[in-house]
Amino acid sequence: MEQQISGLSSMATRPVVTELSERIRLDHRIPVHFASAGGIEIARRVRGGAGADLLVLAHAALAQLEAEGFLLGGTVRPLWVSQVVAAVPKTASVPSLESEADLRAALLSAQRIAYSTGPSGTALVDLITRLNLTGVLHDRLVQAPPGVPAGSLLSSGRADLAFQQHSELMDLPDVVVIGPLPGDTAISSTFSGAVLATSAQPGLARDVLDFLGSDASTKIARARGMHSAAG
């Protein structure tokens, strides 16, 4: 019997890889298990020699690890695209996000704005700079700890507006997802997969990666707030 295929993934993709791993086990009789943490932490583990077969991370982080020699050449594959969405506590009034003016109004009316340590957080800070709101909002920004959903700061009362990948916000209790950011302010992240150079079963790991990027995975990815990178 084949050994289990082990994977490492960012928190944004955890709902997708968890469900797809179960589907692979049932349909293909391949045991697959992903451990998930913040993207920065996963990259640190890889650089520290963590034993695993597959890696699923934001594309830029994965490309950097490939350049450093941690990935099996030719295996990097874009998998899913995720939109960054805004959310508020369930008890709050839900602001409109139909236009850039609506987004500016929501940001300016918020007392505490939660964001993540991942690519969505970096993109949000860049967006706030582009909107010329850095000075006004600097003291209102609250960065969630690595691996902690920004939306959890809403339910705990530490923020009244949060921005993060849809997959990380959609199932949180006591949180209302408003929707993606409007027009030119929209933020999306591509998540890719690859086989680690240290994989003991690179052939089987490639097979699992092929399934993660297949048409059969698209429905599950969409249900978890993402869509296929293939379109």
Contacts of 27 (CB under 8 A, 6+ apart): none
Of 83-87, 157-161, 183-187, 212-216, the least confident: 212-216
For residue range 106-148, list pLDDT tens digits in order. Answer: 999 999 999 988 888 999 999 999 999 999 999 999 999 887 8
Residues 113 and 173 in one domain: yes
pLDDT one-digit tens code per residue, 28-85: 999 999 999 988 899 999 999 998 999 999 999 999 999 999 999 999 999 999 999 9
Q: Torsions phi, psi of 73, nearest 5?
A: -55, 135
Residue 129's CATH number: 3.40.190.10
Looking at the structure, do residues 114 and 68 belong to the same domain, yes or no? no
Average confidence score pLDDT of the chain? 92
One domain for residues 95 and 181: yes
Are residues 208 and 144 part of one domain?
no
Query: Contact, 115 vs 141, CB < 8 A?
Result: yes
Amino acid at 35: A
Q: How many domains does the chain have?
A: 2
Task: Judge contact between 189 and 116, C-beta under 8 A.
Answer: no
Q: Quick one: 52 and 147 in the same domain?
A: no
Tell me the mean pLDDT in the region 95-103. Answer: 95
My answer on whether 16 and 110 are in the same domain is no
Is the pLDDT at 231 greater than 80? The verdict is no
Do residues 155 and 177 both lie within one domain? yes
pLDDT tens digits, one per residue of 72-98: 999 999 999 999 999 999 999 999 999
**pLDDT over threshold 70, residue 2:** no
Domain ranges, residue 13: 5-81+190-228
pLDDT of amino acid 120: 86
- The CB-based long-range contact list for 202-205 (8 Å cut-off, 24+ gap) reads 202/53, 202/72, 204/2, 204/5, 204/30, 204/53, 205/5, 205/53, 205/54
* Domain identity same for 145 and 217: no
181 and 94 within one domain: yes
Question: Encoding tokens for residue 114?
Answer: 């939660």
**154 and 203 co-located in one domain:** no
* Beta-bridge mates of residue 16: none
Interatomic CA distance for residues 158 and 153, integer angstroms: 5
> Is the pTM above the cut of 0.75?
yes
State whether 118 and 144 are in the same domain. Answer: yes
pLDDT, one tens digit per residue, over 175-196 is 999 999 999 999 998 999 999 9
- Average pLDDT for residues 146-158, to the nearest whole number? 88
- pLDDT at position 1: 45
**110 and 198 part of one domain:** no
pLDDT at 29: 92
- % of residues, the chain, pLDDT over 90: 74
